[in-house]
Structure 1
């Protein structure tokens, strides 16, 4: 049976993928809590390298050397890229990587400095303010602009139990400012890379098209497509994996 490893985004937990997993009965699906999140809340990391090392150990203990696909959303996608393309870790029998709404990296030092400043400010807020207050502003960011007031309220309710200084620590450890620019590597890697994106996620739709990525669009969904349309996300993922597995 083919294995699929799922990585959630910042503020998420392994359970974020549950609805997708329920719609993939023919695969062995494993969703991993990232450091500072969920059951790994006490697991500390300082950089992408630490995080990739943690991920490698989790994957190898779960599936040994069996073939697997790696699916990562947002921060999980950025970690997946570092793990697959840069980290000096045991990757086992990795078949392909599916990125969902993940940033490929910043091009200039100026962009990186601006991002670091922004992430530092958010980290301070996660450390010092109540979850309700900081999340209210977090989900007002442009990438979440498609959400209705009800959807936003639901997300805040869902996330606040896991929200605190731990999120600020992960934000700094895996800031986009610390990430390599993976644009060229994603396109030229012998390891297949695929990109899933909600049709209402205009920022990452634009990115995927401008970088000529192998794009799969998820209708009736924004940035968090696997949460907003899990059935269709699962169907498109299954079709993709079955297509690759035939070769």
Structure 2
């Protein structure tokens, strides 16, 4: 079972609302969302530490399906522990790796694990998530890149690896102070576990999920929402070409919820509140 933290809504405010499940990015942990948490007092929230990360650092990961199985078990356990209905709807909110896992969970996981107790997914928020690669050549190149990083995480000093990791173009919006803060914070992670997680959830192993994500419409009429920072040129371009509902946040790079938490929370709240409306009302 993955480590997770359940934060209850203010008394009397959660009735009929979805449980909001947060999935962090690679190198992160559930507490990465703490800057957003206080803006969502009207919702029950579940913050999950993914395998190899945070308090789940000792848990091994082997594949997308295995990680999604752990997420699934964690959500079911939360619903059971809180004595809530098994049909309580959830809204998945994922950042980067967490977004890829959330997309896979919604589109692929239950096709393979159809015998398991389902959860009612009523919303999906994708923050800086890659839909997948559409060619074998691109997957081969990505696998080689991830393998090189995996070897470094496993064998080299983690602070040195992180110093190079945060020089990648996707993190170009970070200044020197922000990079140093992240390096210090992430250096407590175990390199071999990160190496394992990186390879088991490599983008090279992920199907191209965009066609399925485009077709998603939840029972309440909601569709997936994509959030990206305007300084994150790569993922802003992906978002624009996805033809999904998209919110581009000014003054933010790849990690919108960290760089602009209040704006991110406002967008998320708007989406969650819209989920409570009937499809007819939403079209008016």
Report if TM-score (shorter chain) is over 0.5. Answer: yes
Instruction: Give the TM-score normalised by the residue count of structure 1.
Output: 0.97
1:163 CA drift (Å):
4.3
RMSD: 1.1
Find out whether 1:135 has 2:162 as its counterpart.
yes
Q: Which residue of 2 aligns with 1:4?
A: 20
Residues 175-208 of structure 1: CA deviation (Å, up to 9, x unaligned): 0000010111111123321101111111000001
Q: Equivalent residue for 1:202? A: 233
Deviation by residue 1:87-125 (Cα, 9 ceiling, x = unmatched): 124441210110100000000011001100000000000
Aligned-partner SS, 1:5: strand
Give 1 or 2 for the bigger CA radius of gyration: 2
Q: 1:163 to 1:220 in 2, by over 3 A?
A: farther
- Are positions 1:58 and 2:80 aligned together? no
Q: Which stretches in structure 1 are left out of the alignment for 5+ residues?
A: none
1:22 aligns with 2:9: no
Gaps of 5+ in 2: 1-13, 81-85, 279-284
What's 1:190 paired with? 217
2:264 is matched with 233
Aligned length in residues: 247
Would you say the 8 A contact 1:98–1:196 is kept in 2?
A: yes
Residue 106 in structure 1 maps to residue 122 in structure 2: no
Rate the CA distance shift 1:146–1:127 in 2: closer, same or farther, 3 A: same
Q: Distance in 1 between matches of 2:52 and 2:37?
A: 23
Pairwise CA distance, 1:63: 2.0
Say which is worse superposed, 133-142 or 185-194, in terms of deviation.
185-194
CA distance in 2, matches of 1:239, 1:190: 17
Runs of 4+ in structure 1 over 6 Å off? none
Residue equivalent to 1:93: 120
